[in-house]
Amino acid sequence: MPEFLTIAGINVEISAASTGERTPVRIGGSSRAIDGTMRNTVRAIFREWSYDTTFLSAAQEALLRAACDGGAFVAVSGSGVGGGTVTCLVDINEAPYHMDGATAVNRTLSLDIRQAV
């Protein structure tokens, strides 16, 4: 069974309460002519997703950040992005730390994924 979300070859576990796909970004628009007919000038539609990870260790977080930081376009695949492979820009937003016992610290990350092409 394919993974729900794979970013740059890294399988990412996603929280069940995550958001998912947002409203697509449309390049162009639509308007009405004087006679009332609709004119469509949409040239492209780009998809965007927003997900929160499950708890990640420091090593898992570092691996994901190394793959995505710096504005690199990465391959994102899985049913979380429609079942195929999409070239995307992945923004990793700030997220809280969580104590796991007395010493281990885990973190959840908020991911904003934007289709590049």
Domains and CATH numbers, the chain: 6-115 (2.40.30)
DSSP state of 64: H
DSSP state of 90: E
pTM of the predicted model, to two decimals? Answer: 0.79
**Do 108 and 96 form a contact (C-beta atoms < 8 A)?**
yes
**Do 52 and 15 form a contact (C-beta atoms < 8 A)?**
yes
pLDDT at 21: 85
pLDDT at 105: 73
**Do 68 and 90 form a contact (C-beta atoms < 8 A)?**
yes
The two tokens of residue 115 are 């289709």
**Do 77 and 86 form a contact (C-beta atoms < 8 A)?**
yes
pLDDT at 28: 87
- Residue 20's nearest CA partner among 55, 48, 56 is 48
**pLDDT tens for the 117 residues of the chain, in order:** 458 999 999 999 988 877 788 888 888 888 888 998 988 888 888 999 999 998 888 888 899 999 988 888 999 999 889 888 999 999 998 777 777 666 667 788 899 999 987
Strand 104-107 and strand 20-21: the pairing is unpaired
pLDDT at 89: 93
